Amino acid sequence: MTTASAKCPAVSALPSAPKAQATPTKAAAPMAVYAKLVACTFLWGGTFIAGRIASAALPVTVAATVRFAIAAILLLLVAWRLEGGLPRLSRAQLLATALLGLSGIFLYNLCFFGAMTHIPAGRAALFIALNPIVTALAAAVVLRERLTALRWGGIGLAFIGAAIVITRGDPLGALHDISQSLGVGELLMLGAISCWAAYTLIGKAALKGLSPIAATTYAALWGLFFLTLSSARQLGGIEWTAVGWQVWAALFYLGAFGTVFGFIWWYEGVKAIGASRAAVFNNLVPVFGVSLAALVLGEPVLASMVAGGVLVAAGVTLTNMVSPPAPPAK
């Protein structure tokens, strides 16, 4: 849910699908599956441009509330159309979905929209590429998931790339004055990544009995509830007739395309080719984010962004590589 994600671009990882859905099929996946995965990452890359436009015209909490009001309505329609509605939750699931909404929707979007008011969209898109790395580290600490030497190497490579991006190509120089490289916007993006890692781990640990659509819809509803509470005073003070069509288009894009359509296409890809192979497509999100920011917003593309982005993408690819199973003993 991108978040932006809320995966919302930004959002990049939603609660894990049931094992039966995540198992790759033996037959080759049709090209349409790969096309949808690419289109999904393109939509998530576009959330940074839309977020930049919306955050420049509306308060952070208001922009996030409108985004998820749109997303929640569409997700309810999708849940009704594909699954006949939402299942009744147990107390444990009710608490888990509330935590999902708090971490992956409410807090993530506050950090995401807040960062968009301080740093360029392309720079933010490169930060979000660290999502799988931070999630893998958090899973190793919290869920005791084992990290192989190859995955540790990928994590290290990704963090070197991130350091190049954050410091604009001068990691050593940044040690003398870290405030020149790590400002409010960068800290907010790191906060957004941490919130998304928490969202992913909660989904893995507590929502095994819910489908991805049901879990995401409940999380969106909880997130919308928290966002509405936080923005109640500001919502009444907005002069809505003065909000331009570009802002409305950006909010609709974030709610519909960046959240709902991206989510559906992503899980179609996971179902067809497996979660590990689909995860590699996440590397395209910062590529599209930087490219669209340059084309639409006229943001410069620095050499450090390209070099660091390549290293981050390589690190994420290594981290997501799965070793082949050992042959059975004779």
For residue 133 the two structure tokens come to 């790395």
CA-CA-CA-CA torsion sign (231, 131, 3, 15): negative
Q: Residue 195 half-sphere exposure, CB side, CA atoms within 13 Å? A: 33
Has residue 182 got a pLDDT over 80? no
Q: Tell me the per-residue pLDDT of 189-219, one tens digit each, with 9 for 90 and over.
A: 889 989 988 888 887 766 678 888 888 899 9
- C-alpha span between 136 and 151 (Å, rounded): 9
**What pLDDT is attached to residue 70?**
96
Give the pair of three-digit tokens for residue 171: 């990691």
Amino acid symbol at 127: F
The pTM score is 0.78
Closest residue by Cα to residue 194 from 121, 270, 142, 151: 142
**Bridge partners of residue 5, in order along the sequence:** 3
Q: Using alpha carbons, select from 121, 168, 178 the residue that is nearest to residue 297.
A: 121
Question: pLDDT tens digits, residue range 2-25?
Answer: 444 445 443 344 444 444 444 444
- What pLDDT does residue 321 have? 66
Q: What is the pLDDT of the chain when averaged over all its residues?
A: 80
Instruction: Find out whether 62 and 238 touch, Cβ atoms under 8 Å.
Output: yes
pLDDT at 133: 76
Please enumerate in sequence order all residues whose Cβ is within 8 A of that of 229, keeping only pairs 6 or more positions apart, or say none.
none
